[in-house]
């Protein structure tokens, strides 16, 4: 089951910025990448490190702990397969960021970074 959760004002998240949101005991990082919103779990699937301070190159976030990279739009690593970062749908609805949080775990990666 999923639910929509307000995650603050869209004005607080200009292109190039990121913010941490805490929802139901989860820590989620929301990115504005050139106007596109992306939200990911703030926990690296490799060993649980925080991704909030990771270096962003386009849509790819580099985990500060061991350097694995993930596409914040798809949750996938470069290439086929690999670990999968949990992503969350996010929308700007009348100026409010709205996260959709689902209890289902992330599925395997089948998409390629664009
Ligand atoms: S914890 Fe992120 S790459 Fe190891």
Question: What is the tally of structural domains in the chain?
Answer: 1
| DSSP of 9-75 | EGGG--TT-EEEEEETTEEEEEEEETTEEEEEESS-TTT----TT-EEETTEEEPTTT--EEETTT-
Would 68 be classed as within a structural domain? yes
Is 47 near ligand 1, meaning CB less than 6 Å away?
Answer: yes
Ligand 1 atom showing the smallest separation from residue 64 Cα:
2
Whether pTM exceeds 0.85:
yes
Domain residues for 10? 2-100
Domain presence at residue 70:
yes
Residue 73 counted as domain residue:
yes
Indicate which residue's Cα is closest to atom 1 of ligand 1: 47
The partner residues of 97 in beta bridges, in order of sequence, read 92
pLDDT at 45: 97
Average pLDDT estimate for 17-32? 93
What is the CATH classification number for the domain harbouring 59? 2.102.10.10
Q: What is the pLDDT of residues 53-110, one digit of tens each?
A: 999 999 999 999 999 999 999 999 999 889 999 999 999 999 999 999 876 555 555 4
For residue 53, is it within any domain? yes
């Amino acid at each position: 089951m999923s639910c929509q959760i307000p995650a603050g004002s869209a004005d607080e998240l200009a292109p190039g910025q990121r913010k941490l949101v805490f929802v139901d005991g989860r820590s989620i990082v929301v990115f504005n990448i050139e106007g596109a919103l992306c939200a990911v779990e703030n926990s690296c699937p490799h060993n649980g490190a925080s991704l909030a301070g990771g270096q962003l190159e386009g849509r790819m976030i580099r985990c500060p702990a061991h350097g694995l990279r993930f596409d914040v739009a798809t949750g996938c690593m470069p290439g086929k397969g690999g670990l999968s970062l949990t992503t969350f749908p996010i929308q700007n609805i009348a100026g409010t960021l709205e996260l959709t949080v689902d209890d289902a775990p992330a599925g395997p990666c089948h998409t390629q970074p664009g």
